[in-house]
Amino acid sequence: MKLTEENVRYVAGLANLTLSEPEIHQYADELSSILTYIDKLNELDTTGVEPMAQVLFAAGDTASLREDVERTPLTNAAALGNAPLASGGYFKVPKVIER
Amino acid sequence: MNIATLTIAEVQDGLQAKRFSAVELATEALRFGQAENGKTNAYLTFSDERALAAAARVDAKLAAGEAIGALGGVPVAVKDVIVTKGLRTTCGSKMLGNFLPPYDATVVERLEAAGGVILGKANCDEFAMGSSNENSAYGLVRNPVALDRVPGGSSGGSAAVVAQGTAVVSLGSDTGGSIRQPASFCGCVGVTPTYGRVSRYGLVAFASSLDHIGPFSRTVADSATVLQTIAGRDDRDATSALHAVPDYFETMAESVKGLRLGLPKEYFAGLAPETGDRIMAGVEVLKKLGCEVSEVSLPHTEYAIAAYYILCTAEVSANLSRFDGVRFGARSAKSDTLADLYKNSRGEGFGAEVKRRIMLGTYVLSHGYYDAYYLKAQKVRNLLTQDFAKAFEQVDALITPVSPFPAFKIGEKVNDPIQMYLSDIYTITGSLAGIPCMSVPCGVTAEGLPVGMQILTKHFAEDTMFRLAHQYERAGGFSA
């Protein structure tokens, strides 16, 4: 599977990732070789095999639910403590909606 | 006391016999750790205040004649992808250069509740992505056994501090081999428990269906003590298992005579010759202990890396979408719109390997490719898991190499992602199946480089795994 630089730009857009021109060039090459390697999976016939999303162990449907009791959440100040920009108890972002 | 070789039992004996206090031990451990860190760069942050406060609590308990806990006074390091309240947690990334977590991970709470003294945070590959610890934004880690070589990754710092003696035990995380491979490269014990055995609450998520937390130590018993302390249900992590945690020490001293061990033939082709020799010498030790050894087959092994790099990168692309420059982490200074803020903060904050995996993961999940890649890989994961289930019908444990070769030179594989990925061939399979696996030392090469032997058992059979490893250690297997 060969990935073009155009493909890389499109995927970077989906991933919300700014890449430099050298990075785009580099990832086109590297991702192409990785995808070529991955194509190895096509040698395997997986007809009738169930997909496995994660390791699961037998337990009742609600076994992993905790009791619905009140717990103290993070305070507003703690939740905002690592925000690069915050004010008035909110995270600040550039204006999204024009008046 | 020789801080560099202490075990948990020696710490506890010393405290009970009043040969040293917990504060004296912590002070000396911090001094030694900071003096030695220049050689390896294994610690990113030291937490003197927190360590001394924890040690003082242990001394107060000792003075009051109270129990000090299974890890009372024991100097511990924690991989920097596990959050510690108010203590900088970087994940080895520029993205989180100033991140001060508002809470402690469950494993950190449990370590400290058992008297553990956290000396600091261990360096790692950025967001735990890497096999050499060369991907940390804060500089690579050197292997304490051979300073021109990598310590393995991604938990390279956690392995290095234990090998270097700047912590007695440490915590790492393992997604495709990130505990076992560095343990093997640095010559220590490293344990990846059953998926769900240990809560991941507070582990910064990388690939959630594959992420595990586990211990590093210099002896098998010390890893068993740490796992005993951190394992068990936590209702803040819905994926943590409900299964009761057995007392690992109840069975560890028992003989392993008659245990059936399987050597998967797919794991012994393509080994560096000395690695193969050392593993077979380890198997001889187990045979002498009365284990029955036979060859088994895990036929889908050769597809594991391809499946893994689809599944893990897909999960990376989802999990790392939380880093957007808004709620925490680095924020681009040159962005006028929200869309640019997201893109630029991520472009500037993430390193090359993290971006590579986000790109691959986004691609394999993108429209038109989902079935060909992600769904296909999930099916292959099922086949690999069935391989193990079938093998465990015939044997009690599998013995394999951890890595095809010992620690490689710094810079040797850094420009070839596929070669780097291939170095995880023998550890990725166990991760995909979620079974417990560990690396134990089995001697060194002629150059003095450690080789690790992997022991794998079926889900939740950590007790059998520890028993084999402990008996093997007692029989001199670590220098087989």
Choose among A39, A52, A82: nearest Cβ to B381. Answer: A52
Considering the domain architecture, whether residues B26 and B122 belong to the same structural domain is answered as yes
- Asked if residues B40 and B142 have their Cβ atoms less than 8 Å apart, the reply is yes
Tell me if B332 is assigned to some domain.
no
When divided into structural domains, chain B yields a total of 2
Choose among B98, B310, B381: nearest Cβ to A38. Answer: B310
Considering the domain architecture, whether residues B291 and B181 belong to the same structural domain is answered as no
Interacting residues of B119 by C-beta distance below 8 A, sequence separation 6+: B26, B29, B30, B33, B43, B46, B47, B51, B75, B76, B77, B166, B167
Considering the domain architecture, whether residues B273 and B153 belong to the same structural domain is answered as no
Considering the domain architecture, whether residues B45 and B90 belong to the same structural domain is answered as yes
- Asked if residues B436 and B191 have their Cβ atoms less than 8 Å apart, the reply is yes
Q: How many other CB atoms are there within 10 angstroms of residue B353's CB atom?
A: 21
| A28 min Cα distance to partner chain B (Å) | 10
Q: Note down pLDDT in tens along chain B; length 480 residues.
A: 789 999 999 999 999 999 999 999 999 999 999 999 999 999 999 999 999 999 999 999 999 999 999 999 999 999 999 999 999 999 999 999 999 999 999 999 999 999 999 999 999 999 999 999 999 999 999 999 999 999 999 999 999 999 999 999 999 999 999 999 999 999 999 999 999 999 999 999 999 999 999 999 999 999 999 999 999 999 899 899 999 999 999 999 999 999 999 999 999 988 999 999 999 999 999 999 999 999 999 999 999 999 999 999 999 999 999 999 999 999 999 899 999 999 999 999 999 999 999 999 999 999 899 999 999 999 999 999 999 999 999 999 999 999 999 999 999 998 888 888 888 999 999 999 999 999 999 999 999 999 999 999 999 999 999 999 999 999 999 987
- Asked if residues B425 and B305 have their Cβ atoms less than 8 Å apart, the reply is yes
Which residues from chain A sit within 8 angstroms of residue B100, using beta carbons? 81-82
Structure tokens of B312? 């893990």
Quote the CA–CA distance of A81 and B47 in Å, as a whole number: 20
Which residues from chain B sit within 8 angstroms of residue A42, using beta carbons? 376
Q: B376–A79: do the CB atoms touch at under 8 Å? A: no
Residue A23's closest chain B neighbor by CA? B352
**Which residues of B belong to the active site?**
79, 154, 178
Residue boundaries of the structural domains of chain A: 5-43
Quote the CA–CA distance of B149 and B161 in Å, as a whole number: 15
| A3 min Cα distance to partner chain B (Å) | 10
Which of A3, A8, A16 is the best substitution to test chain B (most B C-beta atoms within 10 A)? A16
Considering the domain architecture, whether residues B261 and B228 belong to the same structural domain is answered as no
Considering the domain architecture, whether residues B168 and B258 belong to the same structural domain is answered as no
Q: Which domain holds residue B267?
A: 253-305+372-479
Considering the domain architecture, whether residues B123 and B186 belong to the same structural domain is answered as yes
Residue A14, helix vs strand vs coil: helix
| A33 min Cα distance to partner chain B (Å) | 8
Considering the domain architecture, whether residues B88 and B214 belong to the same structural domain is answered as yes
Q: B418–A33: do the CB atoms touch at under 8 Å? A: yes
pLDDT < 70 positions in chain A: 99
- Asked if residues B455 and B397 have their Cβ atoms less than 8 Å apart, the reply is yes
Q: How many other CB atoms are there within 10 angstroms of residue B147's CB atom?
A: 11
For tokens 């087959």, the residue is B297
pTM (two decimals): 0.97
Give backbone dihedrals phi and psi of A17, rounded to 5 degrees, phi first.
-130, 120
Q: What is the pLDDT of residue B172?
A: 98
Which of B234, B363, B380, B383 is the best substitution to test chain A (most A C-beta atoms within 10 A)? B363
* Secondary structure E strands in B23-152: 43-46, 75-79, 117-122
Q: A34–B309: do the CB atoms touch at under 8 Å? A: yes
Considering the domain architecture, whether residues B64 and B201 belong to the same structural domain is answered as yes
For residue B171, what is the enclosing H or E element? strand B169-174
| A74 min Cα distance to partner chain B (Å) | 8
CATH code, B41: 3.90.1300.10
Q: What is the pLDDT of residue B420?
A: 83
Residue B162, helix vs strand vs coil: helix
Tell me if B173 is assigned to some domain.
yes
Considering the domain architecture, whether residues B239 and B270 belong to the same structural domain is answered as no
Residue A82 contacts B, CB cutoff 8 Å: yes
Residue B121, helix vs strand vs coil: strand
Tell whether domain A5-43 is in CATH 1.10.20. yes
Considering the domain architecture, whether residues B124 and B205 belong to the same structural domain is answered as yes
Interface of A with B in 30-69 (CB under 8 A): 30-31, 33-35, 37-44, 46, 49-55, 57, 59, 63-66
Residue B371's closest chain A neighbor by CA? A51
| A79 min Cα distance to partner chain B (Å) | 7
Give backbone dihedrals phi and psi of B138, rounded to 5 degrees, phi first.
-110, 25
Which residues from chain B sit within 8 angstroms of residue A38, using beta carbons? 306, 309-310, 373
Q: What is the pLDDT of residue B401?
A: 98
